[in-house]
Every structure is written in C-alpha cells, then in structure tokens.
Amino acid sequence: MQALVLEKKGELSLRDIDLPLEVGPDDVKIAIHTVGVCGSDVHYYTHGAIGSFVVREPMVLGHEAAGVVTAVGANVKNLKVGDRVCMEPGVPNMNSRATKLGIYNVDPDVRFWATPPIHGVLTPEVVHPAAFTYKLPGNVSFAEGAMVEPFAVGLQAATRARITPGDVGVVIGCGPIGIMTALAALAGGCSRVYISDLSAPKLAIAGQYPGVHPVNITERPLAEVVSEETEGWGADVVFEASGSPRAYEGIFDIVRPGGTLVLIGMPVETTKFDVAAAIIKEARIETVFRYANNFDRAVNLIASGKVDLKPLVSETFDFARSIEAFDRAAKGLPTDVKLQIVMPG
Ligand SMILES: [Zn+2]
C-alpha cells in the first residue's frame, strides 16, 4: 500500500509499504480521507527525534485523520460501514492501571500513530479500535474531523484548568495549539482570552475570533497588558503553549493570586521557573499531555457551531503532493496554521 514514509531524518518518500490490515473483532477499517500535518510529524522529518522517541526505521507519518468506515469487526456496535469518522491516534493498554484510572493518555504502554516505532496514517487505509473511532455528524466536514486531534489538546488544557464561567484567560504562544487552546478556553467558559506572540501574522489569524485578543510582545510586555486589562489583579488562567523557556520568566506576574498556570508547550531543554513567585500567589500548576476523553467533546463543540476551526486550514494538498506539503510545513510560514493532505477519492 502507498504511504508517506519517513525513511530517516530529512528523507521522505511516497512508496509502497506493508501495513497490517487485518480487522479484529473490536476494530474498524477506515478509508482515510484527510490528514493534518502536525508539528510533531514535521519535527520527526527535520530532526529525526522528539526527546527519547527516535526514528530508527522507516515510519509512516500522520496522526490527525478523518475518513470513512469500510469494514467493522464482529463485536463493533457503535459504527457501521459508510460512517464518516475521526480517530484518536493513541491507543492505550486497555488493562493498564492508567486506563483504569481514566488517564489513558499517560499509560506508559500507549501506542500513538507516527510516534516511533508506530506507523501513522498517511496511507489510504488503516485498521483502528472502534472504541477510539468517533462518528462525525453530517455538518462536520472531513477537514474539521482531521482538526479534532489538535483541538482535543486545547480541550484537555481547558479541562485541566477547571475554568469557572467568566474567567479571564491568557495563552502564551500563537501556534496551532495556542489558537486551539484559546478557542477551547472560550468554549469552556472564559469571558475573554489574551493570546501573545512575536508574530503579527499569527496574531492576526487568532484575532479573527471574537473574544480572542492578540498581544504582540514585540510592542508591549504581556504582563503590562494583562495588568492593565485586569486592574492589576492578573489572569485567572494562564496557558503556556509556546514551549519556550523564556516564557517562564516572570510568568507568575500574569497569574492572579490563587490562579492557575497550565503547561502545554514542551520545552526541548530543562526549564526553570520562579517557585517562590508561584508559592506567594498559591498558584495551581497543571500539565497537559495530549488528551483523554475529549474527542467526543471536540466533535460535539464543532457540530454545535460554537467552535469554527475551518478558518485555520491554510492549504490542502493532494496525497501525491505530500512531500511538498511537508517541505512547506517545515518552513513554518507565519501565515500557515494547519496544512492538510487529502487522499485520492
Ligand atoms: Zn498532532
């Protein structure tokens, strides 16, 4: 079967590869329609590794996917052939202690698409557990379905924040996950969200959304803006979505006393922050690793019209142009939020 294969760092090819397509009793087979290009896919391409995950043998890329069910296993009740679906790319050990606790995203045995050595889904067909496959309502497009995965990260952040209606939020970093987090925070009850970055084009895209207020930190310090907008009190919830160690300098200046800091962006190096500043405000610190139990919520919010992710799809490439899509993504153009790849019909 054809697939977009990362042969090794810096080398992609569109070629045939053997992938298992046997449908187990609890599985469904899916004809892939749309796959989003994620920063992690691009990082494996450009660096060959993320932390301890190292690409040691050829790996199919792609984990943000939507498609159509083409076969169902004998035990599957929730899906049928022809259903339009999106898929949760991480499958835990269903008997693990983490899964029993409902925190299957941190199961040490989780198998996650396009994370070495597990193949991704930039290929025409895939087999996946029905329990991790979600039906798309008629008014949710395949493009939106393929955005459910990154949006679920935002929802995980909003959930971990335990937002109270009317809260003021701040998101540091206006990349795709930062924007998803801002939208999730609004959907989760924030009255308004300030989002900061150095890049004016990125901020302009985020600023299209009512309730999202861009802050260009090349013009004014974020702490100054937050102080002014909250009468010196600070934000109820601050989401760190840049992954930059520099974001931690003075970060507790923007959290209100008793407020919450949610860590999403993963810094490459060991990062320090001011513990005393956190303690003085009795700030609560939460962390986010992917998501658990948020795919269905993401689909529901998109279907309801409360969250519109369509403006975030910057360009769509045919599968045959997959390598071009990755080379474009690797450039990291500030006007690109999400690039997607569509399989031949
Ligand atoms: Zn992703």
Residue range 124-174, pLDDT digits in tens = 999 999 999 999 999 999 999 999 999 999 999 999 999 999 999 999 999
Distance 228 CA to ligand 1 centre (A): 35
Q: Report how far residue 90's alpha carbon sits from residue 246's, in angstroms, rounded to the nearest whole number.
A: 30
How large is the average pLDDT for residues 51-77? 96
* pLDDT bucket at 287, cuts 50 / 70 / 90: very high
Distance 318 CA to ligand 1 centre (A): 19
Closest by Cα among 342, 312, 344, 345 to 34? 342
Distance 191 CA to ligand 1 centre (A): 27
Q: Report how far residue 191's alpha carbon sits from residue 164's, in angstroms, rounded to the nearest whole number.
A: 10
As separate numbers, helices (DSSP H) first and strands (DSSP E) second, the chain gives 10, 20
Distance 161 CA to ligand 1 centre (A): 21
Distance 169 CA to ligand 1 centre (A): 23
Distance 116 CA to ligand 1 centre (A): 14
Residue 117 preceded by cis peptide, ω within 30: yes
Q: Is residue 345 over pLDDT 90?
A: no
Q: Is the dihedral of CA 268, 157, 137, 308 positive or negative?
A: negative
User: What global pTM score does this model have?
Assistant: 0.97
Tokens of 139: 């008014």
Tokens of 299: 């689909």
Distance 308 CA to ligand 1 centre (A): 18
* pLDDT given at position 268: 87
Tokens of 112: 């996650």
Distances (CA, A) of 23 to 3, 123, 322: 19, 16, 27
Q: Report how far residue 341's alpha carbon sits from residue 256's, in angstroms, rounded to the nearest whole number.
A: 42
Distance 343 CA to ligand 1 centre (A): 18
Q: Report how far residue 42's alpha carbon sits from residue 63's, in angstroms, rounded to the nearest whole number.
A: 12
Let me know the angle formed at the C-alpha of 332 by 219 and 343, rounded to the nearest 5 degrees: 140
Distance 56 CA to ligand 1 centre (A): 20
Distance 24 CA to ligand 1 centre (A): 26
* pLDDT given at position 45: 97
Q: Is 158 exposed, middle or buried (0-12, 13-18, 19+ CB in 10 A)?
A: buried
Distance 146 CA to ligand 1 centre (A): 10
Distance of CA 16 to the CA centre of its chain: 28
Say how many residues make up the chain. Answer: 345
* pLDDT bucket at 181, cuts 50 / 70 / 90: very high
The b/e string for 126-140 (b: 16+ C-beta within 10 A; e otherwise) is bbbbbebbbbbeeeb
Closest by Cα among 272, 224, 225, 223 to 244? 272
Write the DSSP symbol of residue 251. Answer: G
* pLDDT given at position 57: 97
Distance 103 CA to ligand 1 centre (A): 19
